[in-house]
Amino acid sequence: MTDDASSPAAETEPDPQVLADLFAVIEDRKAIRPEGSYTASLFDHEKGENAVLEKIGEEATEVVLAAKDDDLDELTYESADLVYHLLVLLSMNDLDLSALLAELESRR
Ligand SMILES: N=c1c2ncn([C@@H]3O[C@H](COP(=O)(O)OP(=O)(O)OP(=O)(O)O)[C@@H](O)[C@H]3O)c2ncn1[C@@H]1O[C@H](COP(=O)(O)O)[C@@H](O)[C@H]1O
């Protein structure tokens, strides 16, 4: 791996900040509730929490199936769905991303 900004790796390397940025967007959708936002709809709907819990169950199953099938693209895609819905669930329960990170840090 090189720090050369002109290398293809430097152009495509994901920013680890992406998780914090995504959580900030989720918190923003919770506060502002823009029309047409799927995330906002999860907070708006009176059964929103059930919808999120259902999604987490579905996505977790899809992650397991993708892993069993050795389908790495699908495993990556479904893991992203799962993490996104997990972050929505944390926000829905007024937990911060830092609570999750602190818990992980405490296990090191
Ligand atoms: N990361 C996500 C994200 N991941 C998944 N989803 C939505 O979650 C839903 C998942 O439902 P499904 O599993 O049924 O959809 P699917 O993945 O096509 O189907 P499967 O193959 O998984 O069964 C879809 O509507 C996706 O669009 C997401 N919706 C939003 N985000 C992020 O949230 C931001 C705000 O988006 P809005 O929700 O539009 O405000 C976006 O910019 C993204 O960064």
* pLDDT tens column, 12-26: 788 889 999 999 999
Domain ranges of the chain: 15-98
Which pLDDT belongs to residue 47?
75
Ligand 1 pocket check for 12: Cβ under 6 Å: no
Write down the mean pLDDT value for the chain.
90
CATH code for the part of the protein at 15-98: 1.10.287.1080
Tokens representing 98 are 């830092």
Tell me the C-alpha to C-alpha distance, in Å, between residue 1 and each of 5, 14, 15, 32, 67. Answer: 11, 13, 15, 41, 27
Q: Using CA positions, which residue lies closest to atom 30 of ligand 1?
A: 39
Q: Is the pLDDT of residue 101 over 80?
A: yes
Question: What separation in Å is there between the alpha carbon of 59 and the centre of ligand 1?
Answer: 11
